[in-house]
Amino acid sequence: MKKKALTLLLAVVMILTAAFSALPASAVEDSSDNTFTLTNYDTDTVFEISTKEDLIAFLTCGKDFGNKTVKLTKDIVLNDTSSDNWYTAENVYAFTGKTGYTFYGTFDGQGHEIEGLVIRNTPASTGHWQKSTGMFCVVWPNAVIKNYTLNGFYIESNGMSSTAAIVGHGTGSLTLSNVEVRNGVVNAINSVPRDTAFAPYSGTGVLIGIHLADGSASVVNITDCNVEKSVTVKSNTSDMGGICGGLVWQSNYPQYWLTGSRIQPLTSDGSYPDPIGSVYCNGNTTYLVTDGINHRFGGEFTFSQKDDIHEQINALFTEDNATFNRSKLYCYGETAPFVTVEGTQMRNDGAFRFVGLVKKPANLTDISSLGFSLKVGETTAAVQCWNVYESIKANNETIVAPDGYYYFTFVVTEPVENTSFDVVATVTVGEASYSTTLYTYVYTSAQS
């Protein structure tokens, strides 16, 4: 797509001083660096996690952190994931009970990474939400989980009802934002099947095992999340989904928002699982919303499994449906988003560039427009990119674009300290246009 050179905020930069993210150090943690404490739990509103020991303490403390915020301040390495089947090693650290317990605060990873999470869970109680497995076993209404990467993990449940990498069982409104999941396995062994008392609440997923829309109208907001093909999801039941193992509606008008996300997990045979594993209904209309498009599933339901609605929802991710006047959702499997903002890269002269990722179309000429919308203060500029790259340079090393994607970039020179940039990446392929949700970056010279 080499049409002309772009002069506004665009330059060719091949040697940069920082990659997208630094690899976590494998050094032994110094316990003197621990920052997580519950001494003043009742009065403190912000808690920090900076070591492996801090993370273990947080995930096993049994507190709900309602109206409180937990922040990651560093990358955390729980186990070395460099070898094949690393999670089977004799000395691997594994959680064998509940993690996250009942959480309804805010977990903010601040862009950090958790590597080597291992959970092996068997049921210890009888309630359906107690039979949940995930980094956050149970999440209550209005919880927010955002801004971190789960890289290298093994989540195993045996005889549980709901299992996922992030949220085992979610209830009410829930936000998952800028969560990246890669290089891991979700494995539900002897999962509770549909024909038991727990049938509506049984499911295995990657982001969410089961979500229960209970009480007032619930909004589940999944924004700018990325689940890579390096994630495998397994279950002995059919209630298995790449996004969520099952949706349970016990309220009127629940809404599910999917924006700016790329979700591509695989099953053990290399295929894509259904996006949603199952649907149970007891209420009125629900909405599935993606990138501003409402897809309404109407009717008054009695509490039962709804295979027809389940099929309609999953069909949205694979095909246009003229019967229901619904268009395909470009966020799952091979139809994952055509465009994303990957992040920023710094130069040693103070300049930096934004880096986008665009999915390769059948023909490069199908892309008629590609670029960024940039807002600084009250000023907005549209930046058109005329070049795409199969690889870019960082720290004098070549970074190859993921299979099936191109990089595209633009450079900001002489940025002013503490300037905030609001960026949206956009692409037009044929007659269809796609855009990301808002990406905000604050420039500081200390990052150079």
Q: What is the DSSP string of 283-296?
A: SS-EEEEETTEEEE
Task: With CA atoms as reference, report the closest residue to 404 among 390, 387, 385.
Answer: 390
Name the residue among 124, 200, 215 with its Cα closest to residue 169. 200
Which of the 8 DSSP states describes residue 95?
B
Confidence grade of residue 285 (pLDDT, cut at 50, 70, 90):
low
The single-letter code of the amino acid at 134 is: G
Q: Give the integer Cα–Cα distance in Å for 40 and 183.
A: 37
User: Nearest 5°: CA angle at 184, between 17 and 265?
Assistant: 95
**Encoding tokens for residue 25?**
């150090």
Residues 111-163 pLDDT 10s: 899 999 999 987 655 555 567 899 999 999 999 999 999 999 999 988 777 89
Q: Which of 102, 237, 225, 249 is nearest to 160 (CA)?
A: 237
Structure-token pair, residue 340: 């994303």
CB neighbours (10 Å) of residue 198? 20
Coil, strand, or helix at residue 376?
strand
What pLDDT is attached to residue 16? 29
In whole angstroms, how large is the CA radius of gyration of the chain? 22
Res. 361 pLDDT band, cuts 50 70 90: confident
Tokens of 334: 């091979």
Least confident of 1-15, 45-59, 175-189, 269-283: 1-15
DSSP state letters, 378-439 = TEEEEEE----BSEEEETTEEEEPPTTEEEEEEEE-SPPTT-EEEEEEEEEETTEEEEPPPE
If we measure between CA atoms, which residue out of 387, 388, 354 comes closest to residue 372? 354
Residue 367: pLDDT above 80?
yes
Beta-strand pair 167-171/208-214? parallel
Q: Which helix (H) or strand (E) holds 155?
A: strand 143-158
Round to whole Å and give the CA distance between 95 and 41.
23
Neighbours of 251 (CB within 10 A): 18
**pLDDT for res 429:** 82
Q: Give the per-residue pLDDT at 391.
A: 93
Query: Which pTM was predicted?
Result: 0.74
Q: What is the mean pLDDT of residues 311-316?
A: 72
* C-alpha closest to that of 162 among 230, 85, 248: 248
Pick from 342, 446, 428, 443: which is nearest to 392 by CA?
342
CA separation for the pair 194, 175 (Å, rounded): 27
Cα separations (Å) of 57 from 34, 77, 106, 347, 424? 10, 14, 17, 38, 38
Percent of the chain with pLDDT over 90: 42
pLDDT above 60: residue 264: yes
Give the bridge partners for 440, in sequence order. Answer: 422
Q: Which residues contact 312 (CB under 8 A, 6 or more apart)?
A: 297, 321, 324, 326
Residue in 429, 439, 436, 426 with CA at minimum distance from that of residue 372: 426
What is the token pair recorded at 65?
Answer: 């952190």
For position 26, what pLDDT does the model report? 33
Q: pLDDT tens-digit profile of 191-242?
A: 766 555 445 677 899 999 988 887 667 888 998 888 989 999 998 876 889 9
Q: Output b/e per residue, 383-408; b: 16+ Cβ within 10 A.
A: bebebbeeebebeeeebebeeebbbb
CA-based end-to-end distance of the chain: 31
pLDDT at 447 over 70: no
Provide the mean pLDDT of the chain. 79
CA distances from 399 to 67, 142, 395 (A): 41, 38, 10
Number of residues that make up the chain? 448
pLDDT tens for 29-48 read 344 578 899 999 999 999 99
Give the model's pLDDT for residue 421.
93
